[in-house]
Amino acid sequence: MRTVGNLVYQFFELHLKAEKGLATTSIRSYRDGIRLFLLFLARENRRPISKLGLGDLNADNVRAFLAHLEAERGNNIRSRNHRLAMLHTFFAYAGGQEPMMLQEAERVAAIPRKRTQPAATYYLERDEVEQLFDKLPHDGKLATRDRALLMFLYNTGARATEAIGLTVDHLVLTSSPRVNLHGKGDKWRTCPLWPETARLLDKMLRDRRQPATAESPVFLSNVGKPLTRFGLYKLVRRHGSDIRIGNGQRSISPHVWRHTTAVHLLESGVEVNVIRGWLGHVSLDTTNRYAEINIRMKQEALEACQVPSTSSVGPPRRPVWQSEPKLLEWLAGL
């Protein structure tokens, strides 16, 4: 008879790793969620995890777990919804493997997500980007690395894990410079590099004490080890310490650079589908949110729709939205 233990094992080893091919970070997220759920069940049933049965995996316990996350652990709604999505996936797999679990899997699938406001999207204005690069040091052994790294983040909109996992063989710095990025879901994408980005990366690699091989990490720490996620965040915060975002409440992070890239591409007239491929979004809906956060573009569209109050000839014969090229161009880019 199948047990909770071998069901969880098969979910991770066969489904998440072998069948879906999720990245390590995604698997760790599932691991943490499943672990919290099992610990909650063990505590509520007053027995060790090894003694849990398939009957303990039910919709009532899932609802109790979600309430526990909010009431006792202080999770916000977004975190609660994230755990629920994880349990939806787990119970859907369990129902397919064990017929007696099918009814509970259907009940868990019927548990809805709570409505919540979308997360705020923070980004840098163009003058803030220029200010930041103007203040970067020009001398010192790490000056070129820091400038190359920040220019790379701004150029590509790469995720933190994509930047720290980049190796030399993923770069093409000669004609038509570009980079191959390994993103979420084990997917690859190619981003063009500006000549200045390619020049800085090439100089950084040439200035190393030890010649870089094809498998060498592109970005190293100050002691010559591969740059870590923590090191990347620390570097970005340090150089952006003079700039505060979110009404002065937040500091700059690598993901703020990613949002900045998307918004500035949109401002430059780049089509949304191109931006989706640039950033490696699976769904176009993820990219479309950037069209909603640019207040200047909204203001321009509003002004284009306004009928001049001083006009003596009355309303135009055709609606403004049919005759205003600037507005049509903006709408076509959504």
User: What's the CATH code of the domain at 240?
Assistant: 1.10.443.10
Q: What is the DSSP letter of 195?
A: H
Contacts from 104-109 at CB under 8 Å and sequence distance 24+? 104/57, 104/58, 104/59, 107/58, 107/59, 108/59, 108/62
Express each pLDDT in 153-168 by its tens digit. 999 999 999 999 999 9
Domain boundary among 78, 109, 140: 109
The answer to the question of residue 116 being in a domain is no
At residue 116, the pLDDT reads 83
Please indicate, yes or no, whether residues 24 and 170 belong to a single structural domain of this protein.
no
The model's confidence at residue 317, banded by pLDDT at 50, 70 and 90, is: very low
Please indicate, yes or no, whether residues 265 and 300 belong to a single structural domain of this protein.
no
Amino acid, res. 197: T
The answer to the question of residue 120 being in a domain is no
The answer to the question of residue 278 being in a domain is yes
At residue 95, the pLDDT reads 94
Please indicate, yes or no, whether residues 31 and 137 belong to a single structural domain of this protein.
no
Please indicate, yes or no, whether residues 76 and 18 belong to a single structural domain of this protein.
yes
Domain count, the chain: 3
Express each pLDDT in 33-53 by its tens digit. 999 999 999 999 999 999 999
Mean pLDDT of 253-276: 86
Please indicate, yes or no, whether residues 39 and 96 belong to a single structural domain of this protein.
yes
Please indicate, yes or no, whether residues 174 and 259 belong to a single structural domain of this protein.
yes
At residue 303, the pLDDT reads 60
Amino acid, res. 334: L
Does residue 320 carry a pLDDT above 50? no
Q: Please state at what angle helix 24-45 crosses helix 59-71, rounded to 10 degrees.
A: 100
What would you measure as the largest C-alpha separation in the chain, in angstroms? 85
Higher pLDDT, 317 or 25: 25
At residue 281, the pLDDT reads 76
Does residue 58 carry a pLDDT above 70? yes
Please indicate, yes or no, whether residues 238 and 258 belong to a single structural domain of this protein.
yes
The answer to the question of residue 119 being in a domain is no
Please indicate, yes or no, whether residues 142 and 243 belong to a single structural domain of this protein.
yes
At residue 285, the pLDDT reads 62
The answer to the question of residue 118 being in a domain is no
At residue 312, the pLDDT reads 44
The answer to the question of residue 255 being in a domain is yes
The answer to the question of residue 121 being in a domain is no
Please indicate, yes or no, whether residues 173 and 236 belong to a single structural domain of this protein.
yes
The answer to the question of residue 279 being in a domain is yes
The model's confidence at residue 117, banded by pLDDT at 50, 70 and 90, is: confident
At residue 289, the pLDDT reads 63
Please indicate, yes or no, whether residues 194 and 300 belong to a single structural domain of this protein.
no
The model's confidence at residue 1, banded by pLDDT at 50, 70 and 90, is: low
Please indicate, yes or no, whether residues 270 and 162 belong to a single structural domain of this protein.
yes
Catalytic residues: 159, 184, 255, 258
The model's confidence at residue 24, banded by pLDDT at 50, 70 and 90, is: confident
The model's confidence at residue 298, banded by pLDDT at 50, 70 and 90, is: low
Strand 178-182: give its sheet, edge to edge. 171-172, 178-182, 188-192
Does residue 9 carry a pLDDT above 80? yes
Please indicate, yes or no, whether residues 8 and 104 belong to a single structural domain of this protein.
yes
Distances (CA, A) of 272 to 188, 194, 267, 289: 19, 20, 11, 10
Q: Are 61 and 53 in contact (CB under 8 A)?
A: no
Residue 24 domain boundaries = 4-109
Q: Are 52 and 38 in contact (CB under 8 A)?
A: yes
